[in-house]
Amino acid sequence: MRLRELKNKIWRDWLRPILLVAIVLGSFRSAVADWNDVPTGSMKPTILAGERIFIYRAAYDLRVPFTTWSVWRRGEPERGDIVVLISPHDGKRLVKRVVGLPGDHVALHSNRLVVNGRPVRYETHGTVSGSPDESGGSVFEEKLPGRAHAILLHEAPGPLSSFRPLRVPSGHYFVMGDNRDDSFDSRYWGFVERRQVLGRATYVVLSADPERHYRPRFSRFLKPLI
């Protein structure tokens, strides 16, 4: 067999099918469903470091694969949604919770949210232990309008545990991590544009504890995210 014929056969029988599968799978992950590995505890106790979460990319938009161009706006992020977004600060993918919608007035007083002039209710849920270099903290249920979820507060509040009322601009969102004293979020780098929201996190796929040689946390497999 000639070298040219051999090259054509390898391309036809092996490389082209693999390339087509890669394009189809890549397009599906980019536009419909994806996963995201979480390396930090900024969303603790809802999402733990070492977890892989499922991202519904088509929750809000049907986009052209591998771009942020929306061809069909299917819905809008809601207050309390856990979203994957492109950080306005450095372009990295982050996982945060939406606490302020376009037009909302958002403030924080000693880690207690005030949304549109109404203080958010909090209920104590218990304590958690942190990693060896943390002091742990207390878990509260934060009752956002229309949604309740858990947050973690440390004994020593972070540097931005309070801020004056901010108005969320049209087409933007204010997001925060559930680990309020250890999260790099809108308090530091501002509002998130609608186009920068890539999808909604829906459940934990896999969970492994990096502090214990990545021992599986089987109780958290397929856990819905609230």
Give catalytic residues, as residue numbers.
Answer: 42, 96
Which residue type is seen at 16? R
Distance CA 150, CA 226 (A): 8
Distance of CA 170 to CAs 56, 101, 144, 167, Å? 24, 9, 20, 9
Distance CA 97, CA 185 (A): 9
**3, burial (CB in 10 Å: exposed 0-12, middle 13-18, buried 19+):** exposed
Report residue 78 CA to chain centroid gap.
13
Question: Tokens 């991202």 map to which residue?
Answer: 55
Gyration radius from the chain CA atoms: 21
Per the CB < 8 A criterion, the answer to whether 83 and 72 are in contact is no
Distance CA 187, CA 58 (A): 27
Opening angle at CA 127, ends 121 and 129, nearest 5: 135
**Residue 118's closest CA among 145, 98, 84, 155?**
145
